Structure 1
Amino acid sequence: MIDWTPLLLSFKLAIISTIILFIISIFFAYIVARCEFRFKPVLESVISLPLVLPPSVLGFYILILLSPYSFLGEFMEKYFDIRLVFNFSGLVIASCIYSLPFMFSPILSGFKSLPNSLIEASYSLGKGKLTTLFRVAMPNIKPSLLSAIIISFAHTLGEFGVILMIGGSIEGKTKVASIAIYEAVEILDYKLAHIYSAIMLIISFSVLFLVYFINQKIEKK
């Protein structure tokens, strides 16, 4: 009998992380796209680091950041009674860090593609920065927003290395689908590994197909 808990945990983690990343990336990407400042290349490099860093390296430093001996880990445990390591809350933080560039980059590209005249026209009509962002900029980069959301969701859904280092494999708490597949292979339960892998494969393909299909529909309008 297949245990659906790892799959449900993966979906829960992906949904929560995607929502948080979308909110953060919208504002960060808009500021980076519209403003010029000295440390802009540094900021973009830091955000994009998870694209090139090995998951083990990134996972190690996130583990140090979230450990009970760090300022953040100690603060959360002392004042909120939340231990970030080997806990679902820690998985959310780790996933947001690991998947940030997958949300940030498409949105940034979308904002950069907008003509300055469109934004300036909004300002000239008396619209504020937030109104311009939500009423003018975002509606005009729908394909970029859609791609960012779906790709970030799919990427978070399939995370393994960072998740394993931060959360381990605790039944019902941190054991997500990718870890369940790894453990099934370790004990030579290939049937279970095939079931989990097939489900993840179908979901991943469906997600990518949805991105290309909807973007094609939007481009034809």
Structure 2
Amino acid sequence: MLEILQNLEFTPFLLSFKLAALTTLILFILCLPLAWYLSQTSSKAKPFLEAVTALPIVLPPSVLGFYILFALSQNSPIGAFFDEYFDVKLVFNFTGLVVASCFYSLPFMVQPLQSGFENINKNMLEASYVSGKSKFETIFRVAIPNIKPALMTAIIVTFAHTVGEFGVVLMVGGSIPDETKVASVAIYEMVEIMDYTSAHIYSAIMVVISFLVLLSVYMFNSKQNKKFGGFHK
């Protein structure tokens, strides 16, 4: 058993964590204003935007992966533009994985943030505006500090969801060692060659990571609920 552990390649896990960290950071920056807008707007376009952001949840990963692959390939205007002007290929490399992961994990960042913003006491926001604070200051000094459970849920679940991606990353990135071969793809290849011992070890590591991530979310939210519950009493 010790010999098997010594021979295991852990680069796929490092790639998975790197991909998840970059995806989470990018989505946080992009989704924060989007979630705020969706939580505050009464526009007729709101249901359409919510449906678009939630689409990756219901679409099969193979369908989403196919369209992302098509959109980023050199045969598409987007892929051709980046290839010609920036000499950047967006498929079968790590850059393409990041782009694909941002699409795939989008709802897992947007929805918790939107829910958190919607549950904020409106009187707090109005008081901020009345006191002369701008919308930007209100978001960062009033809104965000009061949605810590939602914020933590969005960040951790997005990270964990990205670590566990398979269908989308396989279609867009393939399985290039040290470049696009993440942990989920490595497990799939081990099963294909019937290396079940290594697949068990990799899978067990993924189960432990997923459990610890979810446990941290629930423990943090429970602590926050007790804190604010005691405050309100």
Identify the TM-score tier after normalising by the shorter chain: over 0.9
1:144 correspondence with 2:112: no
1:173 correspondence with 2:196: no
Quote how far apart the aligned CAs of 1:115 are.
2.0
Number of equivalenced pairs:
221
Q: 1:38 aligns with which of 31, 37, 44?
A: 44
Gaps of 5+ in 2: 1-6, 228-233
Q: Which residue of 2 aligns with 1:73?
A: 79
Distance in 2 separating the partners of 1:46 and 1:31: 14
Quote how far apart the aligned CAs of 1:37 are.
1.6
Q: 2:28 aligns with which of 22, 32, 46?
A: 22
Q: Which runs of 4+ in 1 moved over 6 A?
A: none
**Greater CA radius of gyration, 1 or 2?**
2
Distance in 1 separating the partners of 2:85 and 2:224: 47
User: How does the TM-score come out when normalised to structure 1?
Assistant: 0.98
Q: Which residue of 1 aligns with 2:214?
A: 208
1:5 correspondence with 2:11: yes
Query: For residues 11-38 of structure 1, what are the alpha-carbon distances to aligned partners after superposition, in whole Å with 9 as ceiling and x for unaligned?
Result: 0000000011111111100011112222
Distance in 2 separating the partners of 1:102 and 1:43: 15
Q: 1:155 aligns with which of 140, 155, 161?
A: 161
**What one-letter code is carried by the residue in structure 1 that aligns with 2:197?**
K
Q: Which residue of 2 aligns with 1:98?
A: 104
User: How does the TM-score come out when normalised to structure 2?
Assistant: 0.93
- Taking only the aligned residue pairs, the percentage that are identical comes to 60
**What one-letter code is carried by the residue in structure 1 that aligns with 2:125?**
I
Gaps of 5+ in 1: none
What is the aligned-residue RMSD (CA, Å)? 0.7
Distance in 2 separating the partners of 1:35 and 1:188: 53
